[in-house]
A and B are shown apart, each in its own frame.
Chain A
Amino acid sequence: MKIKLILFTPIILFLILCFFLWRGLSLNPRELPSPFINKPVPRFSLPELYHSDQKFNSAELQGHVSLLNVFASWCISCRVEHPVLMDLKSQKSVMIYGLDYKDSRDAVLKWLQKSGNPYQKIGFDERGNTAINLGVYGTPETFVIDKQGIIRYKYIGPITEDVWQSELQPEVQKLARED
């Protein structure tokens, strides 16, 4: 009886392997855990998009819960999430800040004028160096930042109504209750 059990181990190991490979099929390789979770926003100071003589500093993200949304006018999936961000602005759900990634000022100003500006302030990251310091590897990416200016959550990809309700809104509400 014991011998028989041992004979079955290869097939059992094989089935375990199959289970892990099958799990792997439904994982998204793009969803990488950000090393910045629970760490303060890396310090940056960028020219503000609308007022190039003013700055948008990372220190301004303290004192309230906010979203930092990395976007660009050339980014197609940013257009998908744009109406959702506009809704969030009109409902005053959360403060949204923008980080314009490797863009041209003219193009982004034109785009925002046409489709609306959901952002409180926009940092103009022309060469993408600030984005690298934030560990951004594509657009759109959205950071949820708490009152202390600490990154608590990161969402990669366009925010849909669904994503907002199931993932980001609970996080924002939880952080808003914190001191």
Chain B
Amino acid sequence: MINPPLCLFSGLLRHARRRVSRYDGRTERRHKSYFTPDIKTIFLTLLLSLFSPMLFAAPAQNIYNFNTVEQQTRFDELTQNLRCLVCQNQTLAESNAPLAQDLRGQIFQMILNQKSNQDIKNYLIQRYGNFVTYTPPFNPSTYLLWGLPGLLLLIGIFIIKRLST
């Protein structure tokens, strides 16, 4: 796993080692007191730290005991692909809102009761609307949403053709 602080540290070490060997050990003391990481290391570290929140984005809690690994996997998959309605930028897996906890409990129960993934999704859509899923359905109100990328592509091709002739 990539860890930004560790990366900076290893960058520093590598840098220090190079300095020491270049000066053949004679000026070791001068460089031991301060060595500055090169610009590449700094940039790399900053770049990687952009991604560090992902490392900590683990499920909020996991106190459910399933009978099989398959059930556990299904639970993880479902909760990571359903939206929490209270904290709308979080999934049901991440959110610690009381409602998310209750809904996780419902999903747990339904998995134990042999309900299929589609059943569970339908259960939530029936109550909370399509907003709980991250994939909008394909119906008259979303034709534009789904069709726009293709439409824009066609317009682009048309424009390029017109300009090149």
Contact = CB atoms under 8 A, between A and B. Distances in A.
Interface of A: 2-3, 6, 9, 13, 29-30, 32-35, 102, 127-129, 132-135, 137-138
A127 B105 CA distance: 11
Interface of B: 85-86, 88, 98-99, 102-103, 106, 125-129, 131, 152, 155, 159, 162-163
Interface of B, helix, strand, loop or mixed by DSSP: helix
B67 to A, nearest CB: 24
Contacts of B98: 102, 128
A127 B106 CA distance: 12
A29 B88 contact: yes
Contacts of A128: 98-99, 102
Given A32-B85, A35-B125, A137 B99 contact: yes
8 contacts: A32-B85, A32-B129, A35-B127, A128-B98, A129-B102, A137-B85, A137-B99, A138-B99
A13 B99 CA distance: 40
Main secondary structure of the interface of A (DSSP, over half): loop
Nearest to A127: B102
B159 A9 contact: yes
Contact of A9 (B127, B129, B155): B155
Given A6-B159, A13-B152, A129-B102, 11 more contacts: A3-B162, A29-B88, A30-B88, A32-B128, A32-B129, A35-B125, A35-B126, A128-B98, A128-B99, A132-B102, A132-B127
Nearest to B84: A137
- Nearest 10 CB-CB pairs, A to B? A137-B85, A135-B127, A35-B129, A135-B128, A32-B131, A6-B159, A137-B99, A128-B102, A6-B162, A137-B86
Contacts of B99: 128, 132, 137-138
Contacts of A34: 129
Given A6-B162, A128-B102, A132-B106, A138 B86 contact: yes
- Central interface residue in A102, A128, A132, A133, by most chain B CB within 10 Å: A132
Nearest to A2: B162
Nearest to B159: A6
A9 to B, nearest CB: 6
